[in-house]
Amino acid sequence: MKREEFIVRMNRSLKLVRTEYDLTQEKMAVCLGISKKTLVEIEKERTSLGWTGAVALAAIFSDSTVLQNSFGGEMSDIIKALAFEDTGVRYPRSMGGKIWWRVIEENDRWKIQQNYISQHYRLLTPENRCVFSSFHLDKIRNAAREYDGDI
């Protein structure tokens, strides 16, 4: 998934999330920090939330069943994978992915998991700390080869 696809999917989810939370267009616009006119234009597919608006929607409504079912769990994981695509970052420890993740490869130093729904990958330490996340398996495998336990 690329940022553009994420934005398109968030644009399409906007009205469903608004309905899920029983918000009027005016109230939803206030939540997102946009005008009601802009929200209406997004819902009519005439304009877009853009990256910042899509991230705001995902973050503010991270508990949305609509979003979780569309993207496969924690929205923050997907946002981070897209935001840090070409940037090294130190991730905090995760729960190890019991529901939304499947193990692709594993050894005694790391494991590679893939999200069932969004299809993005992450590299975890034995303590379940994510050290790299990407939508590209080859980038994850390169990070695994470079991983020396000091990250």
Confidence (pLDDT) at 63: 87
Average pLDDT over residues 101-124: 91
Residue-level length of the chain:
151
Confidence (pLDDT) at 93: 59
Edge-first strand order for the sheet with 111-115 is 101-106, 111-115, 121-124, 130-134
Asked if residue 119 and residue 66 are part of one domain, the reply reads no
pTM: 0.62
Domain that holds residue 136: 86-151
Average pLDDT over residues 88-114: 79
Residue 76 lies in a domain: no
Q: For the chain, what is the domain count? A: 2
93 versus 34: the higher-pLDDT residue is 34
Confidence (pLDDT) at 151: 42
Q: Which residues pair with 115 in a beta bridge?
A: 101
Q: What is residue 108's DSSP assignment?
A: S
Residue 46 lies in a domain: yes
Backbone angles phi, psi at 144, to 5 degrees: -65, -40
Asked if residue 94 and residue 43 are part of one domain, the reply reads no
Average pLDDT over residues 9-28: 96
